[in-house]
Amino acid sequence: MRQSGMAVYLLSSASRRLYVGVTNDLARRLWEHRHGPTFGFTRRYGITTLVYVESIVEPLTAIAREKQIKGWTRVKKLALIEAYNPRWDDLAERYGLTPTPPDPSLRSG
């Protein structure tokens, strides 16, 4: 999958705890979830497997889609993943996304 624009994505833990996010750089964001220095929800619960992804060109449309999915019931989110990725494979591997650290030159400060 070649990303252009934005990506709305769902990550899962081994116990299928879910996280919904949106980004303009999916490989970088995956690295942050898996290896980043910030301790947060995904790190705390081991939510690192990319199980669903949608490419959306317009940022505002992508943000609206993320909010829509976040508002869904868990059952509806699970159905979305099952329809798209019934084996719950790590899609980062399928699409050749190599999680990469953020470019330090892009940091402010």
Separation of first and last alpha carbons in the chain: 33
Whether residue 106 is predicted with pLDDT greater than 60 in this model: the reply is no
SS3 105: helix
HEC per residue, 20-61: EEEECCHHHHHHHHHHCCCCCHHHHCCCCEEEEEEEECCHHH
Q: Report percent pLDDT > 70 for the chain.
A: 84
Type of residue numbered 30: L
Q: Which domains does the chain have, with CATH numbers?
A: 6-102 (3.40.1440.10)
Whether residue 87 is predicted with pLDDT greater than 80 in this model: the reply is yes
Cβ-based neighbour number of residue 92 at 10 Å: 23
Model pLDDT, residue 107: 53
Model pLDDT, residue 108: 47
| pLDDT one-digit tens code per residue, 62-76 | 999 999 999 999 999
| pLDDT one-digit tens code per residue, 18-54 | 999 999 999 889 988 888 776 788 888 999 999 999 9
Tokens of 18: 């879910």
